[in-house]
Amino acid sequence: MPTLVPGGDASGDPQASECLCTSPALLLPPDAEKTPGYWNEGARRRLKSALTLQPVAQRAKNIILFVGDGMGLSTMSAARIYKGQLAGGSGEENILAMETFPHLALAKTYTIDRQVPDSAGTGTAYLCGVKANAKTLGLSGAAVYGKCRTTFGNEVDSILHRARLEGKSVGIVTTTRVQHASPGAAYAHSASRSWYADANMPKEALRDGCKDIAYQLVHNTDINVILGGGRMYMTPKRTADPEYPEDPAQNGTRKDGLDLIAKWLSAKQGARYVWDKKGMDAVEDDSVSHLMGLFEPKDMKYELNRNTSTDPSIVEMTEKAIRILRRNPKGFFLFVEDEIDHGHHSGRAKQALMEAVMLDRAVARASELTSPSDTLTVVTADHSHVFTFGGNTLRGTSIFGLAPKKAKDKQAYTSILYGNGPGYSIRNGGRPAPSLRTAEDKDYRQQAAVPLEVETHSGEDVVVLAKGPMAHLFHGVQEQHYIAHAMAYATCLEPYAAEPGCRAARRASRGTLCSPQPLLALLALCVAAHVVGG
Q: What is the pLDDT of residues 208-235, one digit of tens each?
A: 999 999 999 999 999 999 999 999 999 9
| pLDDT of the residue at 286 | 83
| pLDDT of the residue at 15 | 33
Please answer whether residues 109 and 117 qualify as being in contact, where contact means their C-beta atoms are separated by less than 8 angstroms.
yes
DSSP 340-403: HHHHHHTT-HHHHHHHHHHHHHHHHHHHHHS-TTTEEEEEEES-EESEEE-S-PPTT--TTSB-
For range 368-397, the mean pLDDT = 97
Annotation: CATH topology of 55-386+461-496: Alkaline Phosphatase, subunit A (3.40.720)
| pLDDT of the residue at 519 | 37
| pLDDT of the residue at 503 | 76
DSSP 72-100: -HHHHHHHHHHHHHHTTS-STT---GGGG
Please answer whether residues 65 and 335 qualify as being in contact, where contact means their C-beta atoms are separated by less than 8 angstroms.
yes
Calpha distance 129→481 (Å, rounded): 4
Asked which of 81-90, 188-197, 207-216, 502-511 is least confident by mean pLDDT, the reply is 502-511
What stretch of H or E contains 14? helix 14-20
Asked which of 81-85, 331-335, 349-353, 496-500 is least confident by mean pLDDT, the reply is 496-500
What is the band of 12 on the pLDDT scale with cuts at 50, 70, 90?
Answer: very low
What is the band of 287 on the pLDDT scale with cuts at 50, 70, 90?
Answer: confident
* Strand duo 462-467 + 457-458: pairing: unpaired
- From the candidates 119, 384, 415, 458, give the one annotated as an active-site residue: 119
CB atoms inside a 10 Å sphere around CB 24 = 14
- Residue 480 three-state SS: coil
What is the band of 506 on the pLDDT scale with cuts at 50, 70, 90?
Answer: low
Calpha distance 437→444 (Å, rounded): 10
Give yes or no for residue 471 having a pLDDT over 80.
yes
Rg (CA), the chain: 25
For range 497-502, the mean pLDDT = 89
Higher pLDDT, 100 or 523: 100
| pLDDT of the residue at 17 | 33
Average pLDDT of the chain to the nearest whole number: 90
Give yes or no for residue 351 having a pLDDT over 60.
yes
One-letter amino acid for residue 345 of the chain: H
Asked which of 185-189, 240-244, 313-317, 529-533 is least confident by mean pLDDT, the reply is 529-533
Give yes or no for residue 28 having a pLDDT over 70.
no
pTM as predicted: 0.89
Asked which of 258-272, 447-461, 515-529 is least confident by mean pLDDT, the reply is 515-529
Burial class (CB in 10 A: 0-12, 13-18, 19+), 414: buried
Contacts of 524 (CB under 8 A, 6+ apart): none
Taking alpha carbons only, the member of 293, 297, 267 closest to residue 282 is 293
524-533 long-range CB contacts below 8 Å, 24 or more apart?
none
Taking alpha carbons only, the member of 336, 258, 266, 339 closest to residue 303 is 339
Q: What tens digit of pLDDT does each residue of 171-216 get?
A: 999 999 999 999 999 999 999 999 999 999 999 999 999 999 999 9
Calpha distance 258→232 (Å, rounded): 12
For range 93-116, the mean pLDDT = 97
Give yes or no for residue 3 having a pLDDT over 50.
no
How far does the chain reach from its first CA to its final CA, in angstroms?
81
Task: Provide the annotated binding site for Mg(2+).
Answer: 69, 180, 182, 337
Give, as one character, the DSSP assignment of residue 52.
T
Question: Hey, where are the domains in the chain?
Answer: 55-386+461-496
What is the band of 29 on the pLDDT scale with cuts at 50, 70, 90?
Answer: low
| pLDDT of the residue at 510 | 55
What is the band of 528 on the pLDDT scale with cuts at 50, 70, 90?
Answer: very low
What is the band of 505 on the pLDDT scale with cuts at 50, 70, 90?
Answer: low
Give, as one character, the DSSP assignment of residue 59.
P
| pLDDT of the residue at 9 | 34
Give, as one character, the DSSP assignment of residue 32.
G
- Confirm whether 435 is a catalytic residue: no
Calpha distance 227→275 (Å, rounded): 9
